[in-house]
Amino acid sequence: MYVCICNSVTDRDIVKAVDEGISTLEGLGEALNVGTCCGRCASCAEGLIQSTQMKNGYDADPMQLAVMA
Ligand code: FES
């Protein structure tokens, strides 16, 4: 599914980028241009970062989880 319509970035693209080491929205912006246009995808992209990191066994940042709740 498309997460960032402005830049045609899918959830699979974001999960792959996180699997390869990107851990911030800013990093996704640099790598895939996520969130660099209208910004409406930012919260969904951050959620994907967190869920992918948890899937991969990283500790989630409690502040990020609080923001997402
Ligand atoms: S939907 Fe991602 S920048 Fe607009």
Could you state, in order of their start, the residue ranges of all structural domains in the chain?
2-68
How confident is the model at residue 44, as a pLDDT?
97
Written as six digits, the tokens of 35 are: 């969130």
Q: Tell me, using a 6 A CB cutoff, whether residue 42 lines ligand 1.
A: no
CATH number of this structure's domain 2-68 = 1.10.10.1100
Give the pLDDT confidence of 32-46 residue by residue, as tens digits. 999 999 999 999 999
Q: Is the pTM higher than 0.85?
A: no
The answer for residues whose C-beta is within 8 angstroms of residue 12's C-beta and 6 or more apart is: none
Q: Ligand 1: distance of its center to the CA of 41 in Å?
A: 5
Give the pLDDT confidence of 10-31 residue by residue, as tens digits. 999 999 999 999 999 999 999 9
> Do 39 and 29 form a contact (C-beta atoms < 8 A)?
no
Written as six digits, the tokens of 64 are: 């990020």
